[in-house]
Structure formats: structure tokens, C-alpha cells
Amino acid sequence: MERDRAPRRPIATHYDQVDWAATPLGPRDAWSPLLRSTLDLVLRTRFPASLVWGEELVLLYNEAYAARVGAKHPAALGRPAPAVFPEAWGAVGPLVQRAMSAGESSSLQDAAIPLDRRGFLEESFFSASHSPVVAEDGRIAGVLEISVETTDQVRVRRRLQVLGELAEALADVQDLEELSRTALRLLRDRVPELPVVDIRLPGVTPSDAQRDRPEGYDPERPGLWFDRSAHPAATAGPTGLVAWQSLAGPHLGDVEPVRGPLAPTDQAVVICEVSPSIGLDVAYRQFLRLVAHTLTQAFARIGALQRERDQAAGDRAMSLELQRSLLTSPVAATDLDGVELAVRYEPAASREQVGGDWHDAFCLPGGRLMVAVGDVAGHDRHAAGVMAQVRNLTRGIAHQAATGPGVLDDPDLPGPAQVLEHLDAATYAFRVGTVTTCVLATLHAEEGGHRLRWSSAGHPPPVLLLPDGSVTTLEGSDPLLGMDHRLHRTDHEVLLAPGSTLLMYTDGLVERRKQLLDEGIDRVRAAVAGRTDLAPEALCDHVLAALAPYEDDDVAMLALRTAPPQ
């Protein structure tokens, strides 16, 4: 008889203590050879294995399976399986019944099977096979289950996926409210570990997460602060982010609750309810810490980004103020009757610094007007400083040349080309060290209109709106300033009929990515054509609106109109 008994393993003691006569199986010495041999196979296997026997589905199992039974062991031995696992029978029962009634084998892969084995209904997953045990007469005597619990593997995969998606989703968020919306959209209803989750941001009204909280949830009750010591940023006021959990049951273990308010008002806080179906073990705690750490990293990055934005905005405002202070309003052409002027400066939207674009207009002795639009290479304060040097040098050279012997009696002197030649030599002598484009022009009244003389140093051609609404461009350009200080430059001239409008501009108005420069100039021509009804101020606004936006470069513009005939 000793050979027919179960091997003397640790669980054998529990088998000996069962009153088998009181079970549907009856005394052990009355068990059938098939039951004895099948149970011997179950007890010898090292994998968790169980045997459900007879119409009453009596449960028998080995040492490895006892851990799955949990607190119900050893009382579960000899009891009907549906009574031992009522919480799991909805998932397992149909497979057992199919094997008992139809003799069909079946298998499960990472199947969710809830179990109550530690005093709470626990989320758990299993891969298992169910095979009928067939007697010699063909009758199905029982069902053999061989299974492996995969709860840890399923949770690890799920948590890694969530952490990866969370990090990816937060990689490009630009502000705290977007962080909150993005994170909550991903975490809510996705992670059993976070049945309730909310994010509190300093200065931001709490989200509508109240609707999702279980009845009786009180965010002000004593809770658990997670990861406060692991992340130094969590103690740094508004730059930190910490995770908080409310007490949810006896399976919290030895975690110390923190008494007092939910969180300081100047901290970003993640609030999450502990899942009642997952034990708060080391892996669960680590997952919460990693969620908090991922959010903390995003929070810190946004904080740094905001500080950079604030710094850039301050630098941009200072640079723009410097730029505009250098671009003083054009001197009114009071000595030149019948001329109306307007100027504009628009900084590039995508750059943190302003550039070296400028406009200028000033009177020369003898009733002449000189106008200029130019662009120093670069987009920073250095370029703005060089721009101021070049602009002031141009004024000084032009004024000095205009007061030379015999000049006042010659309306063609000084010519723009002569001024640009001296400017080229001066910037070389002063080691300015950069290239500049520029259109410089003089205007003086004569019979029949105003004589315009201009010279261009590598600059986009001005656009001329004629009184009949037609448009032409003033072509002819020499190399950029700063390329060769010994270069001879050329003047061009045209007689402006009364009511003509001259539009000068820098390349930021017409240059676009993946677009030819001529296409941009054509767009200016189209915007100007026929708009003789617009005064220079209104024409500038119209052209800027028509060719906006200016993402990559600044724009300086000057519009000049001669009075129409009376």
C-alpha cells in the first residue's frame, strides 16, 4: 500500500490531514488505480499542476500549485473546484466542462483569470492546458491542468509599453497644460495600476478628473508620497513633480502615510489611486516611480524651455528696441516739395535675434533727398551694430560729399555710386568685416517731375509704380559692399512723373525657401500693381500683408511718392 500512496513531499503532510472519507472521493484506499496514477503524475511534476476529478470536480494539486491557491491552501484539497475558485470559474469553468463532457483539450495564453488568494480579488494571468483523463471504458474521469502563471511578464510588458508611449508622447509637448492633457489621455483607462489618476499643476485649475473618481474619493485625506527622495527636483518647489497615492486597502504593506494637505500649491503633483486588484509590491512601486520620473523629466524640460523662451523673448525685445532706436524716423523732406515718405521694419518671426536690415532718408544741402535701404549680413546684435555703423557712415559720407566745392551747383552730385564707393573704402579701412547689400538713391525736383538716381550693391531691385498703375523694376546692380573696396560703381537714373511711387525693400520681403528670388519680386509687383489709390503708409501695410509671413529674415521697407499733378 505504501507504493500506492503519494510521494513523501512537503504537500504529502497536508494530504494526510484531509478527511477524505468526508469528500466525494471517499477514503484513499478506495481510490481507483487511474486516480492514483494520475495524482502521482501531478505530484511528481515540478510545474504547477492540478487535477479536477469526478462529476463533483474535486480539486487535487501539487506543491507548485499550492502557491496559486494562496490562503485557501490546504483547505482547498478535496473540495469542489468551483467552490474553491468562484471568482475564476467564469473563465476556467467552460474549459473544464468541455473536457469533461466532450473530451476536448484546450489551452490558454496569458489569459486574465482573477484570483482571491491574498484577501483581495487580484489581477492575474496564466498560460495553461486542460486535458481530459480518460478511463479504460472511455469515460472521462477528470481533467488535468498544467499551467504557468504569467502575471509578472504581462505586467512588465504592459508597463514598459505605457512608459515608452508616455515618454514618446511627452517628448514634444511645449507647455504644462499640454503635458497634463497628453499624459492623462494616455494613462487614464489604459493602466490598471492607475484606476484613478490626475495631475495638479501650479496655477492651473484642477482637471475634470473628479468625474472619474470612485465614490467616496477624498484627495485631502492622508496619502502616500512617492519618489520624493529619489528625484531631487521633487523638492525644488515649482520645478519638481511628485506622485501621490491615497490609501486603498490592507495590501499596501509597510508604506508610511504622510499626514497633512495633498500638496503645496506651488508644486506639480500626480495623484493616483492604488489598484485594489494589484498588490503594492516592489515592481508596482517602481512602476509608479518611473511614471513620476517620466513626467518629472518632461516637466523639467518644459520648465527649461520656458526659461529659454523667456530669455529669448527678453533678448529679442532688447535687440528689437536697439534696432528700432537705430532706425530713427526719416528726416522730413521739407526742402523737397511734393514728396511723401513711409518706412517699415518687421523682424523675422522665427528668429530670436533681429538682423542688420535698415532704411533711411535724409535731406542734403541744395534741396535734395537721399534714401537708402540696406541689409548687413547676419541676424544678431553684432549685425545690428554693424548696420548702425554702415548707416551712419553713409550719412556722413553723403553729407561731406554734398558740401564739396561746386557740388551745390550740380544737382547730380554727389552721385549714389560715388557715395557707395567711399562707403566701401571706409568699411574696409575700419575693418567692419562683413558684406552688405544696399540701394542708395537721390531725388531732386526738376521740370516735369523728379529726377531719381540710384546705385545698387547686390540688392533686390526697387519697384516703381507709375501713375497709370503699371509697374516696373529698376534693374542694374553692382557687387555687394565689402567684396572689393576698389570697385567702380555705376549710377542709373529715371525721371519720375508726378504721382509715381518708389518702393525699396530688403530681401526678407521676397526670399522664401524653395522659391526663386524672381518669384518673390513678381509677388511684390503684383501686390503694388494698380494701387495708386494707396498713400505710402497704406501701401507699405498692404505689401507687408500680401507677402507675409516673414519667418526667416527681417524686412526693411521705404515707400516714396511724388505728388500727382494738380
Residue 548 dihedral angles phi and psi, to the nearest 5°:
-65, 160
What 3-state DSSP class applies to 76? coil
Q: Are strands 268-273 and 241-246 parallel, antiparallel or unpaired?
A: parallel
Give bridge partners of residue 50 from the DSSP assignment.
61, 145
Return the closest-CA partner of residue 176 out of 308, 263, 298: 298
Return the closest-CA partner of residue 198 out of 261, 263, 272, 267: 272
Helix (H) or strand (E) holding 531: none
Unique residue bearing C-alpha cell 568699411: 427
**CB crowding 372-406: b at 16 or more within 10 Å, else e:** bbbbbebbbbebbbbbbbbbebbbebbbebbeeee
The pLDDT value given to residue 10: 82
- Whether 553 and 508 have beta carbons less than 8 Å apart is answered as yes
Sheet strand arrangement including 368-376: 356-364, 368-376, 436-446, 449-457, 492-496
Assigned CATH for 2-149: 3.30.450.20
The pLDDT value given to residue 566: 67
Parse the chain into domains and list their residue ranges: 2-149, 158-306, 329-562
338 — alpha (psi -120 to 50), left (phi > 0) or beta? left
Residue 12 dihedral angles phi and psi, to the nearest 5°:
-60, -35
Across 35-80, the runs of DSSP E, i.e. the strands, are: 49-53, 58-61
Give bridge partners of residue 505 from the DSSP assignment.
557
Query: 3-state secondary structure string, 146-208?
Result: EEEECHHHHHHHHHHHHHHHHHHHHCCCCCHHHHHHHHHHHHCCCCCCCCCEEEECCCCCCCH
Return the closest-CA partner of residue 390 out of 417, 357, 352: 357
Residue 419 dihedral angles phi and psi, to the nearest 5°:
-65, -45
C-alpha distances in Å from residue 245, one per residue of 47, 95, 199, 218: 37, 39, 12, 11
Q: Give me the residues of the chain with pLDDT under 70, please.
A: 1-9, 201-269, 273, 312-337, 349-355, 380-381, 404-413, 551, 566
- Whether 444 and 450 have beta carbons less than 8 Å apart is answered as yes
Report CA dihedral (511, 512, 514, 517) to the nearest 10 degrees: -20
Unique residue bearing C-alpha cell 496564466: 126
C-alpha distances in Å from residue 445, one per residue of 41, 339, 367: 116, 10, 8
Q: Which three cell numbers stand for residue 77?
A: 484539497
The pLDDT value given to residue 326: 60
CATH architecture of 329-562: 4-Layer Sandwich (3.60)
Give counts: helices (H), strands (E), the chain. Answer: 12, 21
Query: Count of CB atoms within 10 A of residue 139's CB?
Result: 11
Return the closest-CA partner of residue 58 out of 33, 40, 76, 74: 76
Q: What is the DSSP letter of 238?
A: G
The predicted-structure confidence for 196-227, as pLDDT tens digits, reads as follows 777 776 655 544 433 344 333 344 433 333 33
- Whether 564 and 467 have beta carbons less than 8 Å apart is answered as yes
pTM of the model: 0.58
Query: 3-state secondary structure string, 400-448?
Result: HHHCCCCCCCCCCCCCHHHHHHHHHHHHHHCCCCCCEEEEEEEEEEECC
The pLDDT value given to residue 235: 35
Q: Which three cell numbers stand for residue 302?
A: 518644459
The pLDDT value given to residue 457: 93
